[in-house]
């Protein structure tokens, strides 16, 4: 999954948003200094330190350059974010499998909801992914119990 945004007039792409994100400019990863901080050069050639984090409330990557904070990707409605955060939290009560299924289904739902050409069936698909994850979890739980 990747997110596209503009920082100081420059198009950047963030990949691996949740875990160890990478920042790309023109398809190449930005250089890092010896401490691992990305070295970003704006349109005027001035070097600026760049940090990347993930906003769990907004469910999208945040890039900070000097004092400018930029959220990447299309925003999702607050009610959808609350529902997906509740899904992720509930998934952790299901152990490793529940957490994995919750995170993957939430990520898939976010991708469908953020499509620029979103159609009604994308919204239906975004609603069905968490239900499918719950169904898979239930089937695996029954199989592991041995049908008792």
Residues 25 and 62 in one domain: yes
User: What was the pLDDT predicted at 140?
Assistant: 92
Which residues share a beta bridge with 90? none
Q: How many other CB atoms are there within 10 angstroms of residue 19's CB atom?
A: 6
What is the reported pLDDT for 97? 92
Query: How far apart are alpha carbons 2 and 99 in whole angstroms?
Result: 21
pLDDT at 60: 81
DSSP 70-88: EE-S----HHHHHHHHHHH
pLDDT at 4: 76
The answer on 40 and 21 residing in a single domain is yes
How many domains, in total, are found in the chain?
A: 2
Place of tokens 């990949």: 15
Tens-level pLDDT at each residue, the chain (148 residues): 677 777 877 888 888 766 778 888 888 888 888 888 888 887 778 788 888 888 888 888 888 887 778 877 778 888 888 999 999 999 999 889 999 999 999 989 988 988 888 899 999 999 999 999 999 999 998 898 876 5
- Beta 28-29 vs 22-25: how paired, if at all? antiparallel
- The encoded tokens of residue 122 equal 């994308």
- In terms of domains, do 138 and 83 share one? yes
Considering the domain architecture, whether residues 57 and 98 belong to the same structural domain is answered as no
Q: Are residues 56 and 21 in the same domain?
A: yes
Spatial distance between the Cα atoms of 85 and 52, rounded to a whole number of angstroms: 21
Q: Are 84 and 67 in the same domain? A: no
Whether residues 41 and 99 fall in one domain: no
Give me the pLDDT at residue 109, please: 92
* 29 shares its domain with 52: yes
Could you tell me if 42 and 92 lie in one domain? Answer: no
Answer yes or no: are the C-beta atoms of 11 and 4 closer than 8 Å: yes
Residues 30, 66 within the same domain: yes
CA–CA gap between residue 58 and residue 70 (Å, rounded): 12
Structural domain of residue 129, as residue ranges? 78-145
């Amino acid at each position: 999954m990747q997110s596209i945004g503009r920082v100081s007039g420059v198009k950047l792409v963030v990949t691996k948003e949740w875990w160890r994100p990478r920042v790309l400019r023109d398809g190449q990863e930005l250089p890092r200094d010896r401490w691992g901080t990305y070295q970003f050069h704006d349109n005027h050639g001035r070097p600026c330190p760049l940090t990347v984090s993930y906003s769990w409330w907004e469910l999208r990557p945040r890039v900070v350059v000097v004092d400018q904070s930029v959220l990447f990707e299309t925003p999702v409605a607050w009610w959808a974010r609350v529902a997906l955060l509740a899904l992720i939290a509930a998934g952790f009560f299901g152990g490793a499998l529940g957490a994995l299924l919750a995170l993957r289904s939430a990520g898939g739902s976010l991708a469908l909801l953020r499509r620029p050409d979103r159609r009604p069936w994308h919204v239906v698909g975004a609603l069905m992914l968490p239900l499918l994850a719950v169904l898979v979890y239930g089937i695996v739980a029954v199989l592991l119990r041995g049908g008792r």
